[in-house]
Amino acid sequence: MCYDDADGTAGRQEAGRDSPSRRAFSRLLLAGTGLAALSACTPAQSFTPSGTPGPTPGSGSATPTAAAAATSPPTSAAPAPGADSTPSVTQAPSTASAIPPSARAHPPSAAALPPSATAPGPQHSLSDPTSPWVIVNKHRPLSPATFVPPDLVRPAVRLATSGEAALLNSTTAAAAEKMFAAAAADGVIITLASGYRSFTTQRATYGSYVNSRGQAEADTASARPGYSEHQTGWAFDIGDGSGADAFTPQFKDRPAAIWAKANAHRFGFVVRYPWMLHEITGYFYEPWHLRFVGKEAAADMRARGIGTLEQYFGLEAAPAYL
Ligand SMILES: [Zn+2]
């Protein structure tokens, strides 16, 4: 996940380790770690179907909650990731994590919500890793932890990786092929930089961090095995073929990232870890990490200005491991 080696990109990121922006971002990471530790005390609240009081932890299918629209949209007015800034406490998980049923009756612009907000169509599980709506974050490991997608395929796209990392589940692969082709038609090169990552690979990556830096720091840089969205086959990282700014916050200004941010929803993808919403997602801004959720949900989130899947589905924020 993070710009880090949850994305398994240690080598490339080492190159920029001493740059000013890198240091600034590292400070951001450290500051975020502190906030995350505080926020981890937030009482747990699991997904509640819209308009239906009473949580049903990790079970059944989901209806996106209109109340999530109460949260400000991400990034557009936010400072650049490399800026000398600190995470805003206004992005605290309480914004999204504890949405009482009463609040759901008063979304700020309910009348303007698209039809999909009230009739979201087919529903999917938030817990089944074969579901396009499965939510994996620092509070929600995959179940089973060693899950392997049954339909991994190599998409016919421009690859910047090989082996298992060039694989996606079949639905995501098909959508990626369409998206990459559409970008190419617009003159924008997008490459698949990292797709599927097995439990075994994640365990090795995370373990190397723990061995070299200790668990606390490892947790800021790498997903624990069983907690990486890459293991689902529904997520992947993009590059632009040049390698420039790969897996760094500056990637947001590359044509591939700009195009993806503006168009990914048309193909069913969301930028999973938006700028300044790390207190909800548990990960700092990753303009390269896309997640398939289906066209309807992706478009609905965009139309309603909802930045994270946690908010969209009314799940608690997951800033840190429990
Ligand atoms: Zn990623």
| Per-residue model confidence as pLDDT tens digits over 237-275 | 999 999 999 999 999 999 999 999 999 999 999 999 999
Span 124-166, pLDDT tens digits: 999 999 999 999 999 999 999 999 999 999 999 999 999 999 9
- How far away, in angstroms, is 2 Cα from ligand 1 center? 6
Give the C-alpha separation, 172 to 184, whole Å: 18
- Top mean pLDDT of 77-91, 119-133, 138-152, 214-228 is at 138-152
Using CA atoms, how far apart are residues 322 and 309, in angstroms rounded to an integer? 19
Helices (H), 234-294: 255-263, 278-281
In the chain, count of helices (H) and strands (E)? 11, 6
When pLDDT is cut at 50, 70 and 90, the band that residue 220 belongs to is confident
- CA proximity to 7, closest of 306, 311, 273: 273
- How far apart are alpha carbons 224 and 247 in whole angstroms? 19
* Residue ranges making up the domain that contains 244: 125-312
For residue 280, being part of any structural domain is answered with yes
Distance 99 CA to ligand 1 centre (A): 28
Distance 9 CA to ligand 1 centre (A): 9
pTM score? 0.70
For the chain, what is the domain count? 1
Long-range contacts of 182-188 (CB under 8 A, 24+ apart): 182/263, 182/266, 182/267, 183/256, 183/259, 183/260, 183/263, 186/259, 188/240, 188/255, 188/256, 188/259
Domain annotation covers residue 30: no
> Which residues contact residue 321 at a Cβ distance below 8 angstroms, ignoring those fewer than 6 apart?
40, 138, 139, 219, 224, 227
In a domain, 144, yes or no: yes
Instruction: Report the separation in Å between the CA atom of 220 and the middle of ligand 1, taken as the mean of its atom positions.
Output: 14
Distance 147 CA to ligand 1 centre (A): 17
Higher pLDDT, 67 or 230: 230
Q: What is the pLDDT of residue 70?
A: 38
173 or 22, greater pLDDT? 173
- Which pLDDT score, from 0 to 100, does residue 221 have? 78
CATH no. for residue 282? 3.30.1380.10
In a domain, 304, yes or no: yes
Residue 65, in any domain of the structure: no
**CA of residue 208 to ligand 1 center, whole Å:** 18
